[in-house]
């Protein structure tokens, strides 16, 4: 009887409740992305703002891939933004100058817009799992 109890708990943990992303959570992601982007445009970008922006876009992109999204060009647009952010990180790590070049800003703005549009198609558990996975990957580097 005890083993059935533990088996039931194990099953419940695997079947996470799929709660849609609420407007509040969407706003948190949007605020992180827009505030960081605005800081870059005002010349006040730093490693913390970079981290918030890169994390939000990366989590949404990876979750969309896991979710097998059918949203046209979403992953490709986010990939372009992530590539630009990768270049920003390389430059920032090497020079301690954190900035998004003016020519690269449209790609980041497009990525933010797409991430904001797509986040409503995801669920809270998927975002949390994806964020945990990406954090583990970053910490392993």
For the stretch 8-64, pLDDT in tens is: 544 445 556 678 888 999 999 999 999 999 999 999 999 999 999 999 999 999 999
pTM of the model: 0.84
In whole numbers, what is the pLDDT of the chain averaged over residues? 89
Q: How far apart are the first and last CA of the chain?
A: 44
Going by C-alpha positions, the residue among 38, 41, 36, 39 that lies closest to residue 53 is 36
Q: What is the C-alpha separation between 98 and 90, in angstroms, rounded?
A: 10
- pLDDT score recorded for residue 6: 45
- pLDDT score recorded for residue 14: 55
- pLDDT score recorded for residue 22: 86
| Arithmetic mean of pLDDT, 89-112 | 97
In angstroms, the Cα distances linking 12 to 52, 105, 112, 130 are 32, 44, 35, 19
């Amino acid at each position: 009887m005890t083993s059935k109890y533990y088996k039931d708990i194990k099953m419940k943990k695997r079947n996470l409740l799929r709660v849609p992303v609420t407007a509040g959570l969407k706003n948190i992601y949007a605020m992180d992305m827009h505030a960081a982007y605005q800081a870059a445009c005002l010349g006040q970008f730093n490693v913390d703002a970079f981290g918030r922006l890169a994390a939000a876009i990366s989590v949404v992109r990876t979750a969309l891939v896991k979710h097998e999204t059918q949203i046209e060009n979403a992953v490709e647009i986010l990939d372009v933004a992530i590539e630009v952010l990768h270049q920003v990180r390389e430059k920032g790590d090497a020079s301690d100058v954190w900035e998004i070049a003016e020519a690269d800003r449209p790609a980041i703005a497009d990525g933010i817009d797409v991430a904001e549009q797509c986040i409503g198609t995801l669920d809270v558990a998927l975002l949390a799992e994806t964020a945990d996975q990406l954090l583990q990957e970053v910490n392993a580097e």
